[in-house]
């Protein structure tokens, strides 16, 4: 049987690299496009070490239409998983144009080429940020999309709109996956998240504090309306997330999708507070974490966790890795990159 060829944009990035591994292990041919604006070429070697298969790699910016077009001319692609985007919320507030430009032009160029070269299957990386603070928890896919709190969040909302409008008038079929909070790393500790500079996200900040790179973890707010006063999120292991992408691609390729545009939440369905994360991390790592409570972070949502019912039922997918394993894998990865 001829192998299906999957274009993974942003495939050297955090979630992309884990997805490439899962795709290869399921027998797909993978082609990566990444401009290395937030990742490293060495990730290709790491992927090859895990799977014994070297993914094809093209380095260019998807905002460059000519290069994107000539890529599609040369490569026969059956489906696209589009991860490539800028993702730092704070930076998007400082440099909104850069975010709109990168996240929207890359998407538009890809869709244009998909239409021209008859690529019908498109999986898109969206985010639970589109729900803002939901009125009801757990939040379902039917919950209203609220006004974005950042240009980054807005690029995800606009992208979803572009896709949902496009599928009405073209032969494109698409699935948007709304991720909750991806954490952790591959069990091999060969790939994981490599935050550049000071991490914005909780778990990389915790592991960097534990290893001594950061002096103290600031916990943003302890008077929220939650059992222990700290914010609640739905943390999901990156490999569970990656597996859902393989299922989404298979669903599109085999025409099992129920409509031309589907949306799924990807979370565990469980909410955990910042203090729970700290306690669980201390338990699995054996390291006492230095932390203090500080002011709330502007724009933070009090609590959010996913309804996973729809993804469980329709995709036959369920997150399997528990919180202790997630945090242990993040800790092993931190030690691996520091050669400890
Ligand atoms: P990442 O930064 O690790 O990976 C993104 C990759 O895309 C990087 O390797 C970067 O070099 C590449 N890239 C960016 N712009 C590009 C362009 N114009 N052309 C070619 N390559 C480009 O991020 P990630 O955490 O793996 O996130 C992947 C996707 O998931 C993003 O779309 C992000 O917005 C979305 N997402 C991430 C999270 C999260 O917490 N990590 C949560 C929700 C949604
Ligand atoms: C953030 C983004 C979200 C994005 C996601 C993944 C904001 C407002 N939201 O989500 O759009 O999709 O990252 O990149 O930035 N915390 C601390 N101290 C820290 C860091 C975080 O207490 O040093 C707390 C936060 O207040 C929050 C929780 O930890 O309650 C998780 O934070 P984070 O990892 O940044 O994720 P989100 O804010 O959920």
Q: What is the DSSP string of 223-277?
A: -SSSTTSS-EE-EEEHHHHHHHHHHHHHHHHTT--SSSEEEEEES-S--EEHHHH
**Ligand 2, atom 26: nearest CA belongs to which residue?**
220
Our answer on whether the CB atom of 182 is closer than 6 Å to any ligand 1 atom is yes
Burial of 293 (C-beta count, 10 Å sphere; 0-12/13-18/19+): middle
Q: pLDDT (tens digit, 0 to 9) for every residue of the chain, 340 residues total? A: 789 999 999 999 999 999 999 999 999 999 999 999 999 999 999 999 999 999 999 999 999 999 999 999 999 999 999 999 999 998 999 999 999 999 999 999 999 999 999 999 999 999 999 999 999 999 999 999 999 989 999 999 999 999 999 999 999 999 999 999 999 999 999 999 988 889 999 999 999 999 999 999 999 999 999 999 999 999 999 999 999 999 999 999 999 999 999 999 999 999 999 999 999 999 999 999 999 999 999 889 999 999 999 999 999 999 999 999 999 999 999 999 998 8
Cα gap 192→238, rounded to integer Å: 9
Residue spans in the chain of domains classed CATH 3.90.25.10: 202-233+269-337
* Per-residue CA distances from 255 to 173, 258, 263 (Å): 9, 8, 15
Cα gap 86→1, rounded to integer Å: 37
Our answer on whether the CB atom of 299 is closer than 6 Å to any ligand 2 atom is yes
Atom of ligand 2 nearest to the CA of 153: 11
Q: Are 36 and 262 in contact (CB under 8 A)?
A: no
- CATH number of this structure's domain 202-233+269-337, picked from the four choices 3.40.50.300, 2.60.40.1120, 3.90.25.10, 3.20.20.370: 3.90.25.10
Alpha helices (H) along 95-186: 96-116, 151-169
Atom of ligand 1 nearest to the CA of 106: 18
**Catalytic residue (choose from 14, 58, 152, 224):** 152
Whether 179 is catalytic: no
The residue behind tokens 């999120």 is 233
- CATH number of this structure's domain 5-183+237-266, picked from the four choices 2.40.340.10, 3.40.50.720, 3.30.420.40, 1.10.580.10: 3.40.50.720
Cα gap 271→256, rounded to integer Å: 31
H/E segment holding residue 177: strand 173-179
| Closest by Cα among 70, 155, 118 to 163 | 155
204 CA to middle of ligand 2, Å? 11
Our answer on whether the CB atom of 186 is closer than 6 Å to any ligand 2 atom is no
Cα gap 278→263, rounded to integer Å: 32
123 CA to middle of ligand 1, Å? 14
**Ligand 2, atom 18: nearest CA belongs to which residue?**
219
| Closest by Cα among 115, 123, 118 to 76 | 118
């Amino acid at each position: 049987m001829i192998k299906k060829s999957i274009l993974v944009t942003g495939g050297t990035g955090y979630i992309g690299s884990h997805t490439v591994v899962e795709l290869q292990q399921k027998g797909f041919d993978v082609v990566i496009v990444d401009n290395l604006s937030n990742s490293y070429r060495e990730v290709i070697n790491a992927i090859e070490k895990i799977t014994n298969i070297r993914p094809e790699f093209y380095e260019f910016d998807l905002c460059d239409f000519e290069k994107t077009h000539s890529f599609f001319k040369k490569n026969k692609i059956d489906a696209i998983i589009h991860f490539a985007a800028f993702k730092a919320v704070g930076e998007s507030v400082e440099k909104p144009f850069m975010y709109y430009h990168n996240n929207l032009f890359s998407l538009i160029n890809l869709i244009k080429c998909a239409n021209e070269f008859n690529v019908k299957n498109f999986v898109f990386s969206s985010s639970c940020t589109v729900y803002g603070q939901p009125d009801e928890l757990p939040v379902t896919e039917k919950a209203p999309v609220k006004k974005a709190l950042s240009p980054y969040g807005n690029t995800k909302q606009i992208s979803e709109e572009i896709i949902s409008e496009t599928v009405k008038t073209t032969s494109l079929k698409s699935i948007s996956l709304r991720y909750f909070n991806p954490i952790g790393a591959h069990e091999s500790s060969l790939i994981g998240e490599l935050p550049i500079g000071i991490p914005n996200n909780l778990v990389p900040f915790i592991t960097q504090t534990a290893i001594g790179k950061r002096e103290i973890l600031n916990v943003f707010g302890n008077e929220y309306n939650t059992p222990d006063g700290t914010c609640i999120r739905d943390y999901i292991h990156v490999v569970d997330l990656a597996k859902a992408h393989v299922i989404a691609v298979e669903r599109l390729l085999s025409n099992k999708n129920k409509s031309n545009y589907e949306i799924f939440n990807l979370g565990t369905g469980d909410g955990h507070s910042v203090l729970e994360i700290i306690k669980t991390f201390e338990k699995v790592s054996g390291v006492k974490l230095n932390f203090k409570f500080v002011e709330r972070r502007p724009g933070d949502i009090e609590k959010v966790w996913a309804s996973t019912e729809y993804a469980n039922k329709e995709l036959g997918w369920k997150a399997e890795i528990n919180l202790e394993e997630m945090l242990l894998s993040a800790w092993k990865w931190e030690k691996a990159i520091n050669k400890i």
